[in-house]
Amino acid sequence: MSQPWWSSEAMWRKCAIWVTAVMVVVLMGLTFDTVRQITAGGERVPGYDVINKKIFYEYDADRGYQVPRIGEDAPLFGQTLTAADAEALVEKGKLTTQAKNCMNCHTLLGNGSYFAPDLTKSWLDPAWINEGLREELMLNFLQDPMNNARTFGTGRRMPDLNITDEEARAVVAFLKWMSSIDTNGFPRGFTPLKQED
Partner 1 sequence: MSEAAANPIDRAEETDDGNRPGQKLALYYFSAAMVLFAAQILFGLIIGLQYLYPDLLYNVLDFSVARMVHINAMIVWLLMGFIGCIYWLVEDEAGRDLVGAKLAFVNFWILTGAVAVVVAVYLFVQIGPGELRSIWLINEGREYIEAPRWADIGIVVCVLIFFYNVAATFTKGRWSGISGVLVLDLIALAALYLAGMYFTPNISVDQHWWWWVVHLWVEATWEVLVGCIMAWGLIRTLGANRRIVTTWLYIEVAMMFGSGILGLGHHYFWIGTPEYWLTIGGFFSALEPIPLVAMVVHAVYDAGRHGFKSSNHPALAWLIAHAFGNFFGAGVWGFMHTLPQINLYTHGTQWTASHGHLAFFGAYATIVIAIIYLAIQKARGDVWMSGALPGNGFAWKWSLALLNIGVLGMTVALLISGYEQSFVERALEGSTWSAYFEAQQTPWFVQGMQWRMVFGWITAAGLALLLWDLATIGRRETRPVQVLNPVPA
Partner 2 sequence: MPEAMSLQDMFVGTLAGAAIVVMGAFYALFYALAKMHRHRVAHATALASYAGLVVATYFLVDALKLHGIWLWVAAVMVAGYFLAPRAIWQLCVGTHEESAT
The binding site for partner 2 (CB under 8 A) comprises 1-4, 6-7, 63-65, 184-185, 188-189
In whole angstroms, give the CA distance from residue 98 to residue 163.
Answer: 12
**Phi/psi at 111 (5° precision):** -110, 140
Question: Three-class SS of residue 111?
Answer: strand
Asked if 173 and 90 touch (Cβ cutoff 8 Å), the reply is yes
CB closer to partner 1, 59 vs 72: 59
Name the residue type at position 94.
Answer: K
Distances (CA, A) of 58 to 35, 44, 90, 109, 129: 25, 15, 24, 19, 19
Q: Of the candidates 69, 147, 164, 165, which one interacts with partner 1 according to CB under 8 A? A: 164
Fill in the DSSP letter of residue 150.
Answer: -
Regarding 87 and contact with partner 1 (CB under 8 A), the answer is yes
- Cβ at position 44, least distance to partner 1 in Å: 5
Restricted to residues 132-151, the positions that interact with partner 1 (CB under 8 A) are: 146, 150-151
Regarding 67 and contact with partner 1 (CB under 8 A), the answer is no
Taking the CA of residue 100 as centre, how many other CA atoms within 13 Å lie in the half-sphere pointing to its CB? 22
* Interface stretch with partner 1, choices 51-59, 77-85, 96-104, 130-138 (CB under 8 A): 96-104
Regarding 50 and contact with partner 1 (CB under 8 A), the answer is no
Asked if 174 and 108 touch (Cβ cutoff 8 Å), the reply is no
Q: Which does 91 bind (CB under 5 to 8 A by kind): partner 1, partner 2, none?
A: partner 1
Regarding 187 and contact with partner 1 (CB under 8 A), the answer is yes
CB closer to partner 2, 6 vs 152: 6
List 65's β-bridge partners, or say none.
60
Q: Which does 38 bind (CB under 5 to 8 A by kind): partner 2, partner 1, none?
A: partner 1
Regarding 184 and contact with partner 1 (CB under 8 A), the answer is yes
